A and B are shown apart, each in its own frame.
Chain A
């Protein structure tokens, strides 16, 4: 969730709660400290009050998790963003509460484990918040070809198939003894030689515009291009371009790097006549798309990876918190 100047107003109530809560808890702690001339401790009045408050907030924080379940998601129990705002700022408010509750001590083994769990959960949450404020803007600026994360492999395969159709249309069928025969997807595709449009891309028309990137639409004129050295194009396509389009960063292709890609396509152009340049441009552009998809996948993992730590450890934290309460009450 964005926490910036533009959205400050939206967060204002919770910021006030956070600031007032922090100030009140510090004042309460300091007041007790002044009166008794010693730190109040976790089991004193202040410690218990702050601990109960902190624990209650942690439980509330945990309530965000069931909202991810199918049935609960549709419940009308407040907008998810309102819950999220409360989650962020009340979560941050637990820092002074729990810290003061701990009386700046790690305590025994259980409390130490609990404290570390808490630190990791809060740390991962803060990381997530920072990631949510930075990465989406980065994606918007640097990955214009972004698609739905779960569709990356599918879309990439579509790209590879489209590219292969274009190569087949431009270079003609490979000789029988050639190592570079069309893949099954292209060989069985009815639209491989469809007149009018060789490559349509995966984006559909919206209004009068067609997709986000018109480079996906190549006319049949391009397919009719006569090139002087089809073997060079076919060779590069099947050995380097297609594996990269299909597998992306998982492949060992030099096309993973923009500089190397530029160089390779420059070399390819040098071996072909000028008429083939639009075809090479299209290939280069698709490779750039594939690189963007890989970048998107990396960013996506960063954007959501922290949840793999945050969620299970939150659960562990809540369980251990109850153990901590039980132990504290038993031995009080």
Chain B
């Protein structure tokens, strides 16, 4: 028995020690065992502070936004579930819930570094009926969960453990605070280290601060101040720069007491390759990295001119459960991304079909949602008629502002109303970069917080907020899609409602990444799909050659051929089109996502039930399948326009391509000059790029349906307002994220007038250091010069009728028409 105990002790010790086959986590000091895919299914039951929880042994690795990461083979990358993850799952069930394990060097959206040990917990094991504490405290941020583990945190009901933990963490806090917490220099807002010391009841005076070795300051950057004396070397900034933004500018330098963070080869921040994205600063738990001025956008200034809008303080925001998880510093820096709007009955928050860059958090009142709005699209319909001369000289039709339905509430009752319990509205446009799917108006006086995309972006870093936002999004996306899909257009109003009611609880929203296969040719047909967002490529292997048959846009559907191929009505067509019998009830082609695709999936059995309940739909599916089968056969015989090249160049995604007919273009560059003249001498287009047939697709913003450039701007300076064009506001900090994101190279970084900040030199004197400043520029469809839908300067100035703005599909149709 004694031997067995000794053996068990050894095993238990191994739990606490690093595993035999442990490995570094992305170059960090911590070492973790490698997880395998089989760990996804393994349940681990453990106790934290006396409460039992069962978690999976491993979970897929995610990026900072919670998106699951895939390896080169398209498989998820498992990582072991940590004690901190388990505690999060157990205690943080809703917004603002508190994890009993304090953290300092760790953040939920980062890989653990394990350098501060503030997250230490006591891990016990059962010896008979008795809990025996482990030999040492373990860091919860990276220590994996084990079966039957008993964990005690500072809030443990077991007083002995709780006191032990508090004492240990308190000492850590006091040691850190004595050297790095300079309350006298703080801006009055407690930083994370201060919050921790307050939480643990640390006495900062208990330890005499180490004889201060001045590690210096760096004030060279226009955006961020660096105080090396406040730095606790937690590596958060390094991970923010390296893992999250992948700029890889910050590292550690020096040894012992002189160790600091360094930029590039220990340059001044302004002299380094730092792009000033601010990610390091918002990640810093102390005052080592602080912003100089909050970001104030033109939008904020404009909105505040309206007396109904007022500013919101960080403290007020922190009271709201959605903002509790966002760091104080981030909110301070981006406080101008939120305004409070007092709304009156009948105020329209947003209009169906318009683009937008804001969402609305509902505080008071009730708000109606209309999915049909006769005033939507009035901009296009209400153009003044042009006289003969205006038409002769190609003057653009002006919008008749008097006839617009701006600000009018749609007639009739709203489809449904929303209250503060629904938390947020208008988030779908911000999250998907698609036009508004409905008009929202106040049904009574109320109050909202209008927030910009970067706030939503940072909210998604927190698992609970992310889950809540995601569930709201899915529910609304499915409902609005089913309500609007043209598939049901042939049904009567009553049948449509019945159909939506039948499907709404039976469909799933599926997200597919670019390049991912939805199904492959020859696979058994199980489901039917409707495209909600994005584009899907349909391709077929025929006689050993892969041929692209078509690409599908939003509001189309696919996958029905395999399902209906056993219907007697279609069998004859299948035989006629020489579809081999083994392919019946199977996929006749493969479908692959071209960009970020959202699909509404109807399972096979529900699909058949649907066709039984609504014979009109069945007929439509059969007719559609028949048409596709016969067109596919035609396409195999004759290839007229190279569709694969069209898809490779991403043209399907474009809504305002600048296309130049090279047969008509005399290369006079009037388009480029006109663009430069309209934009203060800086052209937004380059008359070069890829060719498609006889057309040159010039390097100018394409106004993509799925604009990658909008993703991840730290200060939301790039966005769409109510219309199609991409706008880069003046508060751009020049980090280049949008330029890197644009797959077509259509965003350029332009150097601005150099500003000469003053910095303190080594000899104590002030000197000027030149700082390279840049801002992103892109084609804004001449929004300051022309109204929506009017000819932009490049097209207007072309004397040879060679420059056009058109959608990608329109270009395809033009080429197809020319070919025939």
Residue positions of A touching B, CB distance < 8 A = 1-2, 7, 10, 13, 68, 70-71, 73-74, 76-84, 86, 132, 135-137, 139-140, 147-149, 151, 204-209, 211-212, 300, 303-304
Find out whether the CB atom of B670 lies under 8 angstroms from the CB atom of A206: no
Asked if B648 and A2 sit within 8 Å, CB to CB, the answer is no
Interface residue B614 (Cβ < 8 Å from any Cβ of A) = no
Verify B799–A140 contact, CB threshold 8 A.
no
**In the complex, what distance in Å separates the CA atom of A116 from the CA atom of B791?**
40
A209 pairs with B645, CB closer than 8 A? yes
Q: Are B395 and A76 in contact (CB under 8 A)?
A: yes
Selected contact of B797 from candidates A13, A80, A149, CB within 8 Å: A80
| Across-interface contacts of A71 in B (CB, < 8 A) | 677
A10 to B661, CA, bound (A): 16
Could you tell me the distance between the alpha carbons of A265 and B645 in the complex, rounded to whole angstroms? Answer: 33
- Asked whether, in the complex, the Cβ of A2 is within 8 Å of the Cβ of B800, the reply is yes
Given contacts A149-B667, A303-B667, contact A79 B791 (CB under 8 A): yes
Task: Report whether A2 and B667 are in contact in the complex, using a CB–CB cutoff of 8 Å.
Answer: no
**Contact A208–B649 (Cβ < 8 Å):** yes
Give the distance to chain A from B375, nearest Cβ to Cβ, in Å. 28
15 pairs of residues in contact across A and B, judged by CB atoms under 8 Å: A2-B663, A2-B664, A71-B677, A73-B674, A76-B785, A79-B394, A80-B798, A86-B392, A139-B662, A204-B745, A206-B690, A206-B697, A209-B645, A211-B690, A300-B667
Complex CA gap A80/B689 in Å reads 24
Q: Chain B residues near A148 (CB, 8 Å)?
A: 667, 669, 686-688
Other 15 A-B pairs with CB < 8 A, given A79-B791, A147-B688: A1-B800, A73-B797, A74-B793, A78-B392, A78-B394, A79-B394, A80-B670, A82-B394, A136-B663, A136-B667, A137-B663, A205-B745, A208-B648, A209-B645, A212-B690
Chain B residues positioned under 8 Å from A82 (CB to CB): 392-394
Q: Smallest Cβ distance from A325 to chain B, in angstroms?
A: 27
The A-contacting residues of B in range 641-676, CB under 8 angstroms, are 645, 648-651, 662-670, 673-674
In the bound complex, do residue A140 and residue B670 qualify as a contact, i.e. CB atoms below 8 Å apart? no
How long is the Cα–Cα vector from A27 to B614 in the complex, in angstroms? 73
Q: A208–B791 Cα gap in the complex (Å)?
A: 29
Do residues A74 and B674 form an inter-chain contact, with CB atoms below 8 A? yes
A158 to chain B minimum Cβ distance, whole angstroms, is 13
CA distance A307 to B594 in the complex (A): 47
Asked whether B688 lies within 8 Å of A136 as measured between CB atoms, the reply is no
A-facing mask of B392-408, CB < 8 A → 1, else 0? Answer: 11111000000000000
What residues of B have a CB within 8 angstroms of the CB of A205 in the complex?
743, 745
Least CB separation from A71: chain B residue: B677
Q: Which residues of A contact B786 (CB under 8 A)?
A: 76
Shortest distance in angstroms between A210's beta carbon and chain B's nearest beta carbon? 9
Contact A136 B678 (CB under 8 A): no
Are B392 and A207 closer than 8 Å at their CB atoms? no
User: In the complex, which residues of chain B have a beta carbon less than 8 angstroms from the beta carbon of A2?
Assistant: 663-664, 800-801
Q: A74-B793, A79-B394 are in contact. Are A1 and B801 (CB under 8 A)?
A: yes
| Docked complex Cα distance between A25 and B797 (Å) | 33
When C-beta atoms are compared, the residue in chain B nearest to A87 turns out to be: B799
Q: How far is the CA of A86 from the CA of B793 in the complex (A)?
A: 20
Residues of B within 8 A of A10 (CB): 801
A68, A70, A80, A209: residue with the most chain B Cβ atoms closer than 10 Å: A80
Q: Contacts A73-B673, A148-B687, A207-B743 given: A81-B798 contact, CB under 8 Å?
A: yes
A207 touches B744 (CB 8 A): yes
A151 and B669 CA atoms in complex are apart in Å by 13
Contact A207 B793 (CB under 8 A): no
Given contacts A74-B678, A136-B662, A207-B650, contact A83 B797 (CB under 8 A): no
B248 interface hit (Cβ, 8 Å):
no
Q: Tell whether A76 pairs with B743 under 8 Å between CB atoms, given A137-B663, A304-B666.
A: no
- Asked if B694 lies at the interface with its beta carbon under 8 angstroms from chain A, I say yes
Of all chain A residues, the one with the shortest Cβ separation from B394 is: A79
* Cβ-closest chain A residue relative to B676: A70
Bound-complex Cα distance A151 to B688 (A): 11
Q: Is residue B796 within 8 Å, beta carbon to beta carbon, of the partner chain?
A: yes
Closest A-chain residue to B391, C-beta based?
A82
Is there an interface contact between B744 and A81, defined as CB atoms closer than 8 Å?
A: no
How far, in angstroms, from A7 to B649 measured CA to CA in the complex? 28
**Cβ of A1 and Cβ of B649 under 8 Å apart?**
no
Q: Which residues of A contact B694 (CB under 8 A)?
A: 140
A158 to B233, CA, bound (A): 45
Q: Tell me the complex Cα distance, A70–B677, Å.
A: 6
User: Is B56 interfacial (CB-CB < 8 Å)?
Assistant: no
In the complex, which residues of chain B have a beta carbon less than 8 angstroms from the beta carbon of A136? Answer: 662-667
Residue of A83, A137, A303 near B393 (CB, 8 A) is A83
Q: Which residues of the other chain, B, contact A211 by a CB distance below 8 angstroms?
A: 690
Contacts of B731 in A (CB 8 A): none
C-alpha spacing A204/B744, complex, angstroms: 8
Whether A84 lies near B645 (C-beta < 8 A) is no
Beyond A74-B793, A79-B796, A212-B690, whether A207 also contacts B745 by CB under 8 A is: no
Report if B691 contacts A (CB, 8 A): yes
CB distance from A247 to the nearest CB of B (A): 22
CB–CB A304/B649 < 8 A: no
Chain B CB within 10 Å, residue with most, of A79, A83, A140? A79
Within 8 A of A (CB), among B707-731: none
Cα–Cα distance between A139 and B688 once the two chains are bound (Å)? 14
Give CA–CA (A136, B651) in the complex, Å: 24
Are A212 and B691 in contact (CB-based, < 8 A)? yes
Give, as a whole number of angstroms, the nearest-CB distance from B746 to chain A. 9
Nearest-Cβ distance from residue A77 to partner chain B, whole angstroms: 8
- Residues on A with C-beta less than 8 A from B674 are 73-74
- Tell whether A206 pairs with B649 under 8 Å between CB atoms, given A73-B797, A140-B663: yes
Task: Please determine whether A81 and B799 come into contact, CB atoms closer than 8 angstroms.
Answer: yes
**A contact residues around B797 at 8 Å (CB):** 73, 80
Cα A80 to Cα B786 with chains together (Å):
16
